[in-house]
A and B are shown apart, each in its own frame.
Chain A
Amino acid sequence: MPEPPRHNLPAEPNRFVGRERDLDDLRGLFGETRVVTLCGVGGIGKTRLALRVAAGLVTAYPDGVWLVELARIGRPELIPQEVARVLGVREEANRPLLDTVTARLRGMRCLLLLDNCEHLVDRCAEVAAALIATCPRLSILATSREPLRIASELIWRVPPLDLPDAGPQAEEAEAVQLFMDRATAAGTRLGPGSLADVIRLCRALDGLPLALELAAARTRLLSPGQIADRIDDRFSLLTTGGRTAPARQRTLLAAVEWSYDLLSVKEQVLLRRLSVFAGGFDLELAEQVCAERPISAAEIVDLLGGLVDKSLVSCDESRRRYSLLETIKRYAIERLEQAGEREVLRERHLDVLCALQERHFSAEMVEPGLPWPRRLEALTMSKRLLDDQRVALDWAAEAGNVAQGLRLCATSTSLLPIGGNLTEIVAWIERLLSLDLAHVAPEQVAHAKAYLAYGLEARDELSRSLELAEQSLAGLAPDNVFPRCVMHSLTVVVLLRMGRADEAVPHAEEGLALATRSGDAWNQAAGLLGLSALALTRGRLREAQRHGEEALARAREHGHRWIMARTAAQLGAVAEARGDLVTAKSQYEMAVPWLRELRSELDLARCLARIGRVAAMLHEFGTARECLGTSLALGRATGQRQGVARCLVGLSVLAEYEGDLEGAILAAGAAATLRESIGQHSATTRIEELLARARTKLGDGRTTSLWSRGLAMSPDDAARHVLEGERLAPRPRMETTAPAETVRHSLLTARELEIAHLLTRGLSNRGIAEELVISPATVARHIANIMEKLGYTSRAQIAVWAAEHPNVPG
């Protein structure tokens, strides 16, 4: 497999100007410091500096440099979720997500860049502190207007760019360089004659990068001198709030206001309306949400282009995805409120999100006869709207618009476990259902409860899930077929998991009948899948096979890779049950490309573990090793202990079939411990049989000792033992210090060694200075060097070290 990228830093949109020394210093700080927060006012360039620092640290962090953009997160509880998403960690049932993230990061040497923490600073601080406390090799670089105020944080104040001094070097000042660069990019050629005005403007703008960019974007129409004059005037026009703000904030506000006031009326309207989006947005979304008097949808593309040219809106290279800088966004929100448009726009945003997600959901799941690429496209588009969907749901809750909120909850797979999102749907629906439901139709509440039940099953809250599924079925109208069918299928799953198969049969049959009548291929497949699982539980293999085959046919008809993979796995399980391992393996293998297409790592990991186990039993050891290895890597990367445990069981089977009983016991023991730690039971029959076979071959004592060693073994060690055929290593010995000492010696210069030995005589700096005929300041510098090189914290330690190492010149 190709090496996955070790960072997610975006490409720089334009040239980075200046701050060479700062970059150097900041990168240097990470040798000693674990948390550095870049602080400063909006527009001073914290994010840009942080990204640049982080890019230069990629080689220093073998496990990667990961940017977590928090500006688009509105709620503090979503922070761990965003960190997890960036790291590819998935939620585990019954475990706080932050714990899974922490466990994943524990051994990793990586740098997290938490960008724009200020609006969630308390929770950011808690999360950062928790991660730093438990992950010893992790570093954090944060940007925030306010410090996190946690122990071990180094607050680094980002200054403006260097301003020009009077003199011939003025042109080289950072502020001038940035202004010139951006003016050139805007298509303006500024001759040497304008330098004096540029210098004046840079000073007026206090070297603030954002202010300089906004000014430079206007140089096609206004000369630097004109801009400087107008911005000066702006200071006196600042709104009351701005007048008392600190100087830099005032300067920035003046620049932003000036730039805003220069916009055409329509551009102003669009800019403030764009502030309703969570983060990045595309043209279509802007057209749907922002087109309202006085602007029409057709005008938006040009208006947006104008805003990009004026540096008020950023866009990616392809000009498909747009976004607002945080500082501009805040300003735009204020303008939106002042225009009295906030409620209208947020309501509209919510409505548009509802309509879009409903359309995507229908295309992905419900509409018959659509080809798979069309369904996949709908799924992808729906997922891309997740940030905006959250913002819209927040608004629904805040404004008490429960009906629209619930509607939005019931129309998106990205909020559901099928999209790898275990608990989020639960939290949203519970929040909305706790509000006043007087204006909500009971039918809609029943519909929402269906998705709540769905989420609860994924969280292993089976009895609550069952209860809500029943309530939902009781409240849903008979013609609301899709959710009814989903509820029947879910009830089958829950009852099966609760060991109540008999009660499940009528649900499976009813769900199937409903889906068949309405021609709903997805739910036909799901219903048949349920029937096959029920038959398998009761040992009716031929019936299970028949239902499974039919389920696969219906799933193929629908085309959704998720349901197809599910039915293939069911057919594999049925084949395994009748002892037909060759068929089982090929059924499981069928699902692999489908799951890869869906990027569904958790399902893929499960599928690969099954293939690996069956391949081992077929003596296809190479395949088994490869599949189990990949599955294990996926389980670890996504932080799934259950997935890791599953692989260990597979590896135990592999080891035993290869004749390595020792490895089989170790892996089974490690799996048992891991399962116990997540409150899961192990398949005790297999373990007992394995141990019985081992006793015959290896003897009681050896078996017992291996088993207890396996129980205490880390999952990684146990896995390596089987995967790489590693033999048991002798117990680790105490590390000797000899080699380190040699290194330490050679680090010191002759003069430093000399001074180190003089310290054994208890001399002061002045005493040493007199002895060596040098100045006390030089002695102090040498001593600081020695401390740094030897990693000591006091002069006394140097003296003791020197006393113990007399065989050096001194």
Chain B
Amino acid sequence: MHVTPLLTVGPMDERIVMVDSDTGLELTEEQLDERSAVATVQLRRRGVRAGDTVLICLPVGPDLLVATDAVIAAGGVACPVPADLDAAALSARIIASRARVMISDLPQALEAADESRVRIVMSVADLSVLHSCPGSR
């Protein structure tokens, strides 16, 4: 078998899958694959199993895409909650859900989690750290 120790990147991988409208930063397919792979492992470490619903309350952007891909790869059901909902509606959506895990950085989402059945809230940062002990909010 031919071995390529140095990784070459084919044209498909450089394909840009998203441009962050706020920052203008681009997310390539390779970056998406990489980040969601790490995020999948993190979700599993916190107990996400096949069939589990995971709430995702993030603004539209690369993080949302990564989180959604990761939840699906972990075998979960991604349930997005629009981050721009007003506080009451956001809270109602979270409280009504039976999800055990939520991915969000929004303070109002965190607050609603306290009154919901969500056990673990993961931040975007929690999705990417793999070395150190996991933190969460």
A residues sitting closer than 8 Å to B (CB atoms) are 22, 24-25, 28-29, 31-35, 39-40, 151-160, 246-248, 757, 760-767, 777, 780-781, 783-784, 787-788, 793-796, 799-800, 803-804, 806, 810
B64: Cβ under 8 A from any A Cβ: no
Q: Please report the C-alpha to C-alpha distance between residue A810 and residue B1 in the assembled complex, in whole angstroms.
A: 8
> Once the chains bind, are B72 and A777 in contact (CB under 8 Å)?
yes
Q: Please report the C-alpha to C-alpha distance between residue A31 and residue B5 in the assembled complex, in whole angstroms.
A: 33
> Once the chains bind, are B30 and A34 in contact (CB under 8 Å)?
no
Closest Cβ–Cβ distance, residue B34 to chain A (whole Å):
5
B residues sitting closer than 8 Å to A (CB atoms) are 1, 3-5, 7-10, 12-13, 29-30, 33-34, 36-38, 40-41, 44-47, 69-70, 72-75, 100, 113-121, 130-137
> Once the chains bind, are B72 and A151 in contact (CB under 8 Å)?
no
> Once the chains bind, are A795 and B33 in contact (CB under 8 Å)?
yes
Q: Please report the C-alpha to C-alpha distance between residue A791 and residue B133 in the assembled complex, in whole angstroms.
A: 14
> Once the chains bind, are B41 and A787 in contact (CB under 8 Å)?
yes
Closest Cβ–Cβ distance, residue A154 to chain B (whole Å):
5
Can you list 26 A-B pairs with a CB-CB distance of less than 8 A?
A: A24-B47, A25-B100, A29-B45, A33-B45, A152-B135, A153-B135, A153-B136, A154-B135, A155-B121, A157-B119, A158-B119, A159-B119, A247-B115, A761-B8, A762-B10, A763-B12, A764-B13, A764-B30, A764-B33, A767-B13, A780-B36, A780-B37, A780-B73, A787-B37, A788-B41, A796-B34
> Known: A151-B135, A767-B10. Is A248-B37 also a contact (CB below 8 A)?
no
> Known: A157-B113, A781-B74. Is A763-B36 also a contact (CB below 8 A)?
no
Closest Cβ–Cβ distance, residue A166 to chain B (whole Å):
15
> Known: A22-B119, A248-B115, A793-B130. Is A781-B135 also a contact (CB below 8 A)?
no
Closest Cβ–Cβ distance, residue A493 to chain B (whole Å):
49
> Once the chains bind, are B134 and A33 in contact (CB under 8 Å)?
yes
> Known: A25-B47, A777-B73, A788-B44. Is A794-B34 also a contact (CB below 8 A)?
yes
> Once the chains bind, are B37 and A764 in contact (CB under 8 Å)?
no
> Known: A25-B119, A157-B113, A788-B44. Is A760-B4 also a contact (CB below 8 A)?
yes
Q: Please report the C-alpha to C-alpha distance between residue A14 and residue B48 in the assembled complex, in whole angstroms.
A: 30
Give the interface SS of chain B, mostly helix, strand, loop or mixed. loop
Q: Please report the C-alpha to C-alpha distance between residue A761 and residue B44 in the assembled complex, in whole angstroms.
A: 27
> Once the chains bind, are A793 and B116 in contact (CB under 8 Å)?
no
- Residue numbers in A under 8 Å from B44 (CB-CB): 784, 788
Partner of A154 from B72, B115, B120, B130 at Cβ < 8 Å: B120
Partner of B9 from A34, A157, A762, A804 at Cβ < 8 Å: A762
> Once the chains bind, are B7 and A794 in contact (CB under 8 Å)?
no
> Once the chains bind, are B133 and A152 in contact (CB under 8 Å)?
yes
- Residue numbers in A under 8 Å from B130 (CB-CB): 793-794
Q: Please report the C-alpha to C-alpha distance between residue A246 and residue B36 in the assembled complex, in whole angstroms.
A: 36
Closest Cβ–Cβ distance, residue B90 to chain A (whole Å):
16
Closest Cβ–Cβ distance, residue A142 to chain B (whole Å):
14
- Residue numbers in B under 8 Å from A247 (CB-CB): 115
Please give me the residue from chain A that is nearest to B102 by CB atom: A157
> Once the chains bind, are A157 and B38 in contact (CB under 8 Å)?
no
> Once the chains bind, are B119 and A780 in contact (CB under 8 Å)?
no
Please give me the residue from chain A that is nearest to B43 by CB atom: A784
Q: Please report the C-alpha to C-alpha distance between residue A659 and residue B45 in the assembled complex, in whole angstroms.
A: 56
Interface centre among A153, A157, A159, A806 (most CB of B within 10 A): A157
- Residue numbers in A under 8 Å from B9 (CB-CB): 762
Interface centre among A33, A154, A156, A777 (most CB of B within 10 A): A154
Closest Cβ–Cβ distance, residue B39 to chain A (whole Å):
9
Closest Cβ–Cβ distance, residue B17 to chain A (whole Å):
10
- Residue numbers in B under 8 Å from A246 (CB-CB): 114-115
Partner of A757 from B1, B30, B69, B72 at Cβ < 8 Å: B1
Can you list the 5 inter-chain pairs with the closest CB atoms, starting with the nearest? A780-B73, A784-B40, A25-B47, A793-B130, A152-B133
Please give me the residue from chain B that is nearest to A770 by CB atom: B12
> Once the chains bind, are A159 and B116 in contact (CB under 8 Å)?
yes
> Known: A151-B135, A153-B135, A764-B12. Is A780-B47 also a contact (CB below 8 A)?
no
> Known: A156-B120, A246-B114, A806-B3. Is A795-B74 also a contact (CB below 8 A)?
no
> Once the chains bind, are B38 and A793 in contact (CB under 8 Å)?
yes
- Residue numbers in A under 8 Å from B5 (CB-CB): 760, 800, 803-804
Q: Please report the C-alpha to C-alpha distance between residue A715 and residue B105 in the assembled complex, in whole angstroms.
A: 49
> Once the chains bind, are B121 and A762 in contact (CB under 8 Å)?
no
Partner of A781 from B7, B38, B40, B47 at Cβ < 8 Å: B40
- Residue numbers in A under 8 Å from B118 (CB-CB): 157, 159
Q: Please report the C-alpha to C-alpha distance between residue A763 and residue B135 in the assembled complex, in whole angstroms.
A: 32
- Residue numbers in B under 8 Å from A787 (CB-CB): 37-38, 40-41
> Once the chains bind, are B41 and A784 in contact (CB under 8 Å)?
yes
> Once the chains bind, are A766 and B133 in contact (CB under 8 Å)?
no
Q: Please report the C-alpha to C-alpha distance between residue A788 and residue B39 in the assembled complex, in whole angstroms.
A: 11
- Residue numbers in A under 8 Å from B12 (CB-CB): 763-764, 766-767
> Once the chains bind, are A157 and B135 in contact (CB under 8 Å)?
no
- Residue numbers in B under 8 Å from A152 (CB-CB): 132-135
- Residue numbers in B under 8 Å from A788 (CB-CB): 41, 44
- Residue numbers in A under 8 Å from B40 (CB-CB): 780-781, 783-784, 787
> Once the chains bind, are B134 and A762 in contact (CB under 8 Å)?
no
> Once the chains bind, are B72 and A780 in contact (CB under 8 Å)?
yes
> Known: A767-B13, A780-B40. Is A34-B47 also a contact (CB below 8 A)?
no
* Besides the known contacts A155-B137, A780-B73, 16 further A-B residue pairs in the complex with CB atoms under 8 A apart: A25-B47, A29-B45, A34-B133, A151-B135, A152-B132, A157-B113, A157-B120, A159-B118, A761-B10, A762-B4, A767-B10, A767-B13, A780-B36, A784-B44, A787-B41, A806-B1
Closest Cβ–Cβ distance, residue B27 to chain A (whole Å):
12
Closest Cβ–Cβ distance, residue B68 to chain A (whole Å):
11
- Residue numbers in B under 8 Å from A29 (CB-CB): 45-47
- Residue numbers in A under 8 Å from B38 (CB-CB): 787, 793-794
Q: Please report the C-alpha to C-alpha distance between residue A451 and residue B131 in the assembled complex, in whole angstroms.
A: 52
Please give me the residue from chain A that is nearest to B129 by CB atom: A793
Please give me the residue from chain A that is nearest to B73 by CB atom: A780
Interface centre among A39, A153, A765, A806 (most CB of B within 10 A): A765
> Known: A780-B69, A787-B37. Is A762-B114 also a contact (CB below 8 A)?
no
Q: Please report the C-alpha to C-alpha distance between residue A454 and residue B133 in the assembled complex, in whole angstroms.
A: 46
Q: Please report the C-alpha to C-alpha distance between residue A757 and residue B47 in the assembled complex, in whole angstroms.
A: 28
- Residue numbers in A under 8 Å from B100 (CB-CB): 25
- Residue numbers in B under 8 Å from A799 (CB-CB): 7
> Once the chains bind, are B46 and A784 in contact (CB under 8 Å)?
no
Q: Please report the C-alpha to C-alpha distance between residue A248 and residue B112 in the assembled complex, in whole angstroms.
A: 12
- Residue numbers in A under 8 Å from B37 (CB-CB): 780, 783-784, 787, 794-795
Closest Cβ–Cβ distance, residue B74 to chain A (whole Å):
7
> Once the chains bind, are B117 and A32 in contact (CB under 8 Å)?
no
Q: Please report the C-alpha to C-alpha distance between residue A70 and residue B136 in the assembled complex, in whole angstroms.
A: 24
Please give me the residue from chain B that is nearest to A760 by CB atom: B4
- Residue numbers in B under 8 Å from A784 (CB-CB): 37, 40-41, 44, 73-74
> Known: A156-B120, A780-B33, A784-B40. Is A762-B47 also a contact (CB below 8 A)?
no
> Once the chains bind, are A765 and B33 in contact (CB under 8 Å)?
yes
> Once the chains bind, are B134 and A32 in contact (CB under 8 Å)?
yes
Interface centre among A757, A763, A806 (most CB of B within 10 A): A763
Q: Please report the C-alpha to C-alpha distance between residue A35 and residue B131 in the assembled complex, in whole angstroms.
A: 15
Please give me the residue from chain A that is nearest to B46 by CB atom: A29
Q: Please report the C-alpha to C-alpha distance between residue A31 and residue B46 in the assembled complex, in whole angstroms.
A: 10
Q: Please report the C-alpha to C-alpha distance between residue A165 and residue B38 in the assembled complex, in whole angstroms.
A: 36
- Residue numbers in B under 8 Å from A39 (CB-CB): 114
